[in-house]
Amino acid sequence: DGGITQSPKYLFRKEGQNVTLSCEQNLNHDAMYWYRQDPGQGLRLIYYSQIVNDFQKGDIAEGYSVSREKKESFPLTVTSAQKNPTAFYLCASTATSVSGTEAFFGQGTRLTVV
């Protein structure tokens, strides 16, 4: 089945540790995105990548890092510099067509700092 897979679904991290969230897609999409969602809030863009080996900062990139070495994969690292990392993280990908851009989402990773 084609889609986006995020892992793990739940993640616990101790303060001061880096942690990497996985996002893999087999939709052959060029663009991929990472969003953060806090309880009862909207989605805030962390990073996005429109092509392999290239990515751009979103609105809240501080304390996060990404890589895009393969088209299928866009991992997000939450570093110790992120002051309030507990949140729900969503990965998405898009395939631009003549009619527009529809995003497909993974099921999310819920990160809790303990």
CB of 80 to other proteins, least distance (A): 26
- Site stretch for other proteins (CB under 8 A), options 17-25, 63-71, 78-86, 98-106: 98-106
First-to-final CA distance of the chain = 35
Q: Which residue type sits at 113?
A: V
Q: Which residues from 35-54 bind other proteins, rule CB under 8 A?
A: 35, 40-45, 48, 50
Residue 33 binding other proteins, by CB under 8 A: yes
Question: Tokens at residue 114, please?
Answer: 């303990």
CB of 113 to other proteins, least distance (A): 18
Residue 104 binding other proteins, by CB under 8 A: yes
Residue number, 9 or 70, with CB nearest to other proteins: 9
Residue 13 binding other proteins, by CB under 8 A: no
